[in-house]
A and B are shown apart, each in its own frame.
Chain A
Amino acid sequence: MRIWLARSAILIAALGLWEAVARGANPLLYVPPSAALPALGRLLTLQSYPDLLADMALTLREILTAYALALTAGLACGAALGLNRLVGRAYGPLLAALYAVPAVVWYPSLMLFFGLDAASKIAFGFLLGFFPIALAVLAGVRQVNPHVLAVARAFGARPAFVFTRVMVPSMLFTLVGGLRTGLALAVIGVIVGEILGSKAGMGALINHAYGLFRTADYVALVLVTLVLIVGSDALAVLVERRARRWTE
Chain B
Amino acid sequence: MTAETARARWIQAASGLVLLSVWEGASRAGWVDPLFVPAPSAVAGALREVGGAALSGLGETLAKTAVAYALSVAVGVPLGIAIGSVRALRQVLSPFVTALYGMPKILILPWIVLLLGFGTAPAIVYGTIHGLFPILVLVAGGVRDVDEHLVKVARAYGASTWQLYWKVLLPAIVPTVVAGMRLGVVFCLLGVLVVEMFAGVRGMGHVLGSLANGFRAAELFAATALVSAASIAAVLGLDHLSERLSHWRG
Contact = CB atoms under 8 A, between A and B. Distances in A.
Q: Do A and B bind each other?
A: yes
A188 B106 contact: yes
A105 interface: yes
A10 B228 contact: no
Nearest to B189: A102
Contacts, number: 121
B69 to A, nearest CB: 13
A49 interface: no
A134 interface: no
A191 B232 contact: no
A126 interface: no
Interface stretch (A52-60, A93-101, A156-164): A93-101
Interface in B163-219: 186-187, 189-190, 193-194, 197-198, 205, 208-209, 211-212, 215, 217
B209 A108 contact: yes
B148 interface: no
A29 interface: yes
B194 A192 contact: yes
B-side binding surface: helix, strand, loop or mixed?
Answer: helix
A100 B235 contact: yes
Nearest to A94: B12
Contact of B104 (A6, A29, A101, A187): A187
B165 to A, nearest CB: 24
Interface in A177-195: 184, 187-188, 191-192, 195
Interface in A99-119: 100-109, 111-113
B5 interface: yes
By size class, the interface of chain B is: 35 or more
Contact of A109 (B12, B111, B194, B221): B221
Given A109-B220, A192-B106, A225-B107, A104 B114 contact: no
A89 interface: yes
Given A100-B186, A100-B235, A112-B36, A105 B224 contact: yes
A229 interface: yes
Interface stretch (B22-30, B89-97, B135-143, B149-157): B89-97
B110 A112 contact: no
A51 to B, nearest CB: 19
B88 to A, nearest CB: 8
B194 A86 contact: no
A198 B91 CA distance: 41
B212 A102 contact: no
B123 to A, nearest CB: 13
Contacts of A243: none
Contacts of B106: 188, 191-192, 195
A108 B12 contact: no
Given A100-B186, A105-B227, A210 B110 contact: yes
A240 interface: no
B197 A196 contact: yes
A3 B37 CA distance: 57
A230 B12 CA distance: 40
Interface string A32-69: 00000000000000000000000000000000000000
B107 A191 contact: yes
Contact of B110 (A7, A103, A105, A195): A195
For the complex of A and B, list the 6 residue pairs with the smallest distance between their C-beta atoms, beginning with the closest: A102-B190, A108-B212, A210-B110, A90-B11, A100-B235, A89-B8
Given A112-B217, A113-B36, 4 more contacts: A7-B95, A109-B212, A213-B114, A229-B104
10 contacts: A29-B114, A86-B11, A100-B186, A105-B231, A107-B197, A108-B208, A108-B224, A196-B194, A215-B111, A226-B107
